[in-house]
Amino acid sequence: MFEGLFTALRDEGVPVALDEWLMLHEGLERDLHESTLSGFYLMSRAVLVKDESHYDGFDIAFARYFSGIEPAGEAVDERVWKWLEENPHFLHISDDQRAKLDAMRDQLELDELLERLREKLENQEEEHHGGSEHIGTGGTSPFGHSGYHPGGIRIGGYGRWKSAVQVAGDRQFRDLRTDHEIGARDFGVALRRLRQLSTRLDGPATELDVDDTIRQTADHAGQLRLSFRRPRRNTVRVLLMLDIGGSMDDHILLLDRLFTAMHQASHFRDLQVRFFHNCVYDRVYSGVDMSPRQSESTESLLAQLDPDYKLVMVGDACMAPSELLAPGGAIDYRHMNEEPGAWWLERLEQHFTRSAWLNPHPKRWWDTIHGAYTLNIVRRIFPMFELSVDGLDQAVRHLMVRSAA
């Protein structure tokens, strides 16, 4: 049953597994949806969707499978909207009345309902409020708004008694999609994955080592010897290099959030942050204002940092080709670089075992954007990911893969 919904969900990228599908059918058998479409909507959502960012995809799939929602909205012409907007009546309905209506409702099939709506749209000549048949407000007809009809179609107004298909058509969970909305918190969640636990670090031994305690106690002829060990800690160290200024200004909000998330993720063993403008050359900066006083040579930085630091580069990688490929190409004219930027990027990439480049431009633009030429050169040097929650997630996975060495 409902296999079409299953496929529609998968098409929308909602990961539905077979166990969940079976769970849904178990629910159907027990009539947990109370044989209503809205009940089915709520039940299937609770069982099939495990992440609020997929609520929207679910709504789209649901609306498409129980189709005909969008067409109904489009077919409503101006004349009808006018009736509905100009003189809204609100239906005040007591719980008793509602129960009565619920009991005697003619639960129409959606097709039939839409057919009737189509008829009404063609034939209804004037406003009609508070009734039970025509399009209008504050009545118990299935069409219009501010009234009550179980399983009706709301046209305009605000949902008061929402029913399933319409709610799905509303797409009220659009804001929760992860491929759009990115907050510091979401970044934080992705960053949590950057961890590698080990007991080999320094620190006070505070955890009771039961096995060793028993061994030691046995060795001392039964005299209790407590043995402690160091708790496990995250060993991941991160070098974050940010492109600031120029073309990156457009992404300042996004960067700010990433930065906040990085700093809040207090679980790193060490977090180093450096700045550069467009491309890295022989010097990197530790202050946002990029004053030479707060700079150090890139080589000495590499010498200080162990290759097991995870290198995270953030930048749009869009620049003039000379900035990347020619000696003396640095955008800052006071700065004369002997070697082209690309060499420095390669040097960085080779020094660290794992590295990733985060690009604030959406991936689909990478081939066509102004600056695509340099972007694609950089992309050949560094594995590049887009700076979205999903992209960061992939980048983090990439960083955590253990190298063969």
Under the rule (CB under 8 A), what is the footprint of other proteins?
Answer: 15, 17, 19-20, 23, 26-27, 30, 32, 39, 42-43, 45-47, 49-52, 55, 173, 176, 185, 188-189, 192-193, 208, 210, 213-214, 217, 222-224, 226
Q: Report the Cα 121 to chain-centroid distance in Å.
A: 40
Neighbours of 152 (CB within 10 A): 23
Nearer to other proteins, 48 or 387 (CB): 48
Nearer to other proteins, 67 or 217 (CB): 217
Nearer to other proteins, 43 or 384 (CB): 43
Strand partners, 137: 145
CB of 42 to other proteins, least distance (A): 4
CB of 388 to other proteins, least distance (A): 15
Residue 271 exposed, middle or buried by CB count within 10 Å (0-12, 13-18, 19+): middle
Nearer to other proteins, 90 or 343 (CB): 90
Report strand pairing: 237-243 vs 310-314: parallel
Q: Please, which residues have CB within 8 angstroms of residue 107's CB and are 6 or more apart in sequence?
A: 36, 150, 151
CB of 328 to other proteins, least distance (A): 41
CB of 189 to other proteins, least distance (A): 6
CB of 89 to other proteins, least distance (A): 19
Tokens representing 175 are 């804001």
What is the largest distance, in Å, between two alpha-carbon atoms of the chain? Answer: 100
H or E segment and range at residue 107 = none
List Cα–Cα distances, 340 to 346, 364, 391, in angstroms.
10, 28, 29
Neighbours of 322 (CB within 10 A): 15
CB of 400 to other proteins, least distance (A): 12
CB of 50 to other proteins, least distance (A): 4
Q: For residues 213 and 338, what is the distance between their CA atoms, to the nearest angstrom?
A: 61
Nearer to other proteins, 214 or 288 (CB): 214
Nearer to other proteins, 193 or 230 (CB): 193
CB of 72 to other proteins, least distance (A): 23
Nearer to other proteins, 216 or 353 (CB): 216
Query: How many CA within 13 A on the CB side of residue 57?
Result: 22
CB of 396 to other proteins, least distance (A): 11
DSSP-based three-state secondary structure for 273: strand
Nearer to other proteins, 99 or 210 (CB): 210
389-400 vs 184-191: helix crossing angle, rounded to 10 = 20
Q: For residues 328 and 338, what is the distance between their CA atoms, to the nearest angstrom?
A: 6
Rounded (10°) CA dihedral 373, 379, 382, 384: 130
DSSP per-residue letters across 236-264? -EEEEEEE-SGGGGGGHHHHHHHHHHHHH
Nearer to other proteins, 52 or 85 (CB): 52
Nearer to other proteins, 124 or 394 (CB): 394
Q: Please, which residues have CB within 8 angstroms of residue 237's CB and are 6 or more apart in sequence?
A: 268, 269, 270, 271, 272, 305, 306, 308, 309, 310
Q: Please, which residues have CB within 8 angstroms of residue 159's CB and are 6 or more apart in sequence?
A: 166, 167, 170
Nearer to other proteins, 55 or 344 (CB): 55
Residue found by looking up tokens 């219009």 in the block: 144
CB of 40 to other proteins, least distance (A): 10
CB of 282 to other proteins, least distance (A): 37
Q: For residues 165 and 377, what is the distance between their CA atoms, to the nearest angstrom?
A: 48
